[in-house]
Amino acid sequence: MRERGANLTPEQKMIREKGFHPSGRFAGVPEEQVETSIAERFEKIVRMEPERLAVKDKNRSLTYDQLNRAANRIAHAVLAERGDASEPIALLFQHGIDMIPAILGVLKAGKFYLGLDPSFPQDKNLRMLEDSGAGLILADYRNWELANDTVEKAISLLNTDEIASSIPAENPNLAITADDLACLLYTSGSTGKPKGIVCPHRNIVFNGVVHGYVNHIHTDDRLTLFHSIGFGSSHINLYQSLLNGASIHPFDIKLEGVLPIAPWLHEEQITVFHSTPLVFRQLAESLSDHTDLSSLRLINLSGAPVSKLEIDLYRAHFPATTVFEISIGSTETHTFSSFIVDPGFRLPDSGVPVGYPRPGREVLVLDESGKVVEPGQDGEIAVRSRYLNFPFPRQTGAAWNSKSASEQMYLTGDIGRMMHDGFLVHVGRKDFVAKIRGFRVSVVEIELALMEHPGVMEAAVVPWGNDEGEKQLAAYVVPRNQSLLTVREIVGFLRNKLPAYTIPSTFLFLDSLPQTNGKLDRRSLPRPERVRPNLGNSYVSPTNATERRLVAAWEKVLDIRPIGIHDNFFDLGGHSLAAMRVVSQVIRTFQLELPLQSLFQSPTIAGMAAVIMEHQGKPLGKEDLERMLGEIEALSDEEAQHLLADETKSKRGGDRNE
């Protein structure tokens, strides 16, 4: 039998040798490397590389031996306080070096950790504490006051800065198995209520070791750590470094911001960079021609859709020797699919490419009945694996049964499309797919189209229900370089890229989008107010009775106030059904026999008033009035769109306020 991939091009062979493409062989991870605890795997690295750099932030650094000894002292202190039963222990540290020995110390004590965040609202930390049932919080001097404010009566505190040097620094050598729980993560809550997910040691070790194999992690590699330890995304670099002998370098973006990242990457000679697309975008746009980031050999983006802008920025600022990887995962699955952007890669016409399944994962695309769809068809992405994480159980000491876990399949809530060669395209979230006037709309597609506008820095789209229960799309836009974007400009741009029914009816311009751990927090986006947006033209009030009556009709249908006589109906969020409602209102109000399309030859109050004045001598009788209204109200949205298509098509990109 011919070896799979024998006819690869030289470029494909290069990709295969880097271990990213499924046509290359994956040797697999020996079972003894996975059927172990994090502590045992880490201690093996310590024995092999005791003097090698393990972790470094801007204040200090620790070798593997120093990190191990610091973690052991914390472990012995925790054991003295709580015994060796499995339970959650909360950690409250700044994003830096001090949190790393605390994590390892908790794990070495046979516990599992819950990462709190000093930057979170106190209520959020309290909710996680209450839900977890944690009986102990570890903190340092810097966060001691906050820990005291957060703690409840049943919870003890342990100051890691006060652990005496007389406490043993030797390994506790507890019997910790691969099935035991290692950490409790809470989802960001950016798309709903946060939920607790537990990770067994086996899953974290497997992912750390597999990431090391796939990404060719070497002991000389230096990896970034931007993500908070309370989120699953932190595991990607944290454990593929510490479980493979490389070094991890925490950087606090919340405190430092994005601008210092480039000089920090150069100074620390970082080789592996992992972030959300937003952080990478801001980094790349801050680079000058003299910035030297030649040490970077791998850039990995995950956590949000990657657009053409990120790929263009990578190609503009980084050499071909720097591998650019796109991946997707979740708290429940870890990374389950990835690929690298080769020189000839082009984005698909729709959706976001996320590549091929990672080792240990089977990725399926299912219809609503749970059956696998045909290649090229949309469905829900499901992941089957032995290494899935699970909802947090109330019985916190219960271990997962590895045999039953091997049969588990997780429905991600993501919509995807599997191509014939097994390449996965991400289409959007199920909860981000809305029915707008009967049409199925993916907000991700609209967001990606918005991001292609040269004046848009960030964009988000959210469906909102109006007072009548109809779904309407609101777009939130952060202009680039404080440019003076207008709704007219953006709508005109989108008309050339998207179907009319997908164009948002409301646009809000913001200084920034709310984030949770570098990801868009949709729940914190403000509810759109139905006020006149920035259309690029000044507001002009009505000047006569006809214009005033038209303004009243438009404001009733569009639910926007005030509306000026030169404001464009479609720039105000008007669509085909709203157009029919306005037409009905106008015919009822003025009782005129008017050609339907003539009202939209110039879709402004002033233009419509001029058409009405031309037809004042052609009043409708009662029967003709009812007939015309009936015909209009019987039109479907699709028929209305076709009816108005010729009128709107000729005006795309032109001045339609005359």
Fold of 545-649: 1.10.1200
- Write down the mean pLDDT value for the chain: 81
Q: Which of 170, 173, 176 is closest to 205 using CA atoms?
A: 176
Residue 470: burial class (beta carbons within 10 Å; 0-12, 13-18, 19+): middle
Average pLDDT over residues 375-384: 93
- Is the pLDDT reported for residue 490 higher than 80? yes
- Is the pLDDT reported for residue 39 higher than 70? yes
Give pLDDT, residue 300: 95
Q: Which structure tokens are listed for 93? A: 């540290």
Phi and psi torsions of 488, nearest 5°: -60, -45
Q: Domain ranges in the chain?
A: 35-200, 437-524, 545-649
- For residues 341 and 373, what is the distance between their CA atoms, to the nearest angstrom? 26
Segment of 232-236, 344-348, 374-378, 442-446 carrying the highest mean pLDDT? 374-378
**Domain 437-524, CATH:** 3.30.300.30
Q: Which structure tokens are listed for 584? A: 């009905």
- Is the pLDDT reported for residue 263 higher than 90? yes
Q: What percent of the chain has pLDDT over 90?
A: 36
Give pLDDT, residue 563: 81
Average pLDDT over residues 625-631: 65
* Structure confidence by residue, pLDDT tens digits, 496-533: 888 777 888 788 888 888 877 667 777 778 777 666 66
Average pLDDT over residues 314-339: 91
Question: Using the 8-state DSSP alphabet, how is residue 432 labeled?
Answer: G
Average pLDDT over residues 530-542: 71
Q: Which structure tokens are listed for 470? A: 């109809």
Beta strand extents in 262-319 (DSSP E only): 272-275, 298-301
Other C-beta atoms within 10 Å of 201: how many? 26
Other C-beta atoms within 10 Å of 459: how many? 24
At 625, is the pLDDT very low, low, confident or very high (cuts 50, 70, 90)?
low
Give pLDDT, residue 139: 94
The CB-based long-range contact list for 375-379 (8 Å cut-off, 24+ gap) reads 375/418, 375/419, 375/420, 376/417, 376/418, 376/419, 376/420, 377/417, 378/415, 378/416, 378/417, 378/427, 379/415, 379/416, 379/417
Average pLDDT over residues 564-576: 74
- For residues 326 and 305, what is the distance between their CA atoms, to the nearest angstrom? 9
Least-confidence region, from 42-51, 63-72, 150-159: 150-159
Query: How many residues does the structure list for the chain?
Result: 658
More confident residue, 501 or 166: 166
Segment of 382-391, 460-469, 520-529 carrying the highest mean pLDDT? 382-391
- Is the pLDDT reported for residue 495 higher than 70? yes
Give pLDDT, residue 191: 46
Average pLDDT over residues 73-83: 96
Tokens 């620390």 map to which residue? 268
CB 522 within 8 A of CB 191: yes
At 637, is the pLDDT very low, low, confident or very high (cuts 50, 70, 90)?
low
- For residues 239 and 245, what is the distance between their CA atoms, to the nearest angstrom? 10
Q: Which of 389, 384, 391 is closest to 406 using CA atoms?
A: 384
Give pLDDT, residue 134: 92
Q: In this structure, are strands 456-465 and 471-479 parallel, antiparallel, or unpaired?
A: antiparallel
- Is the pLDDT reported for residue 409 higher than 50? yes
How big is the chain by its Cα radius of gyration, in Å? 29
Average pLDDT over residues 98-104: 97
**Domain 35-200, CATH:** 3.40.50.12780
Give pLDDT, residue 26: 46
CB 168 within 8 A of CB 73: yes
Cβ contacts of 324 within 8 Å, gap of 6 or more: 299, 301, 311, 314, 318, 340, 341
- pTM higher than 0.85 for the full model? no
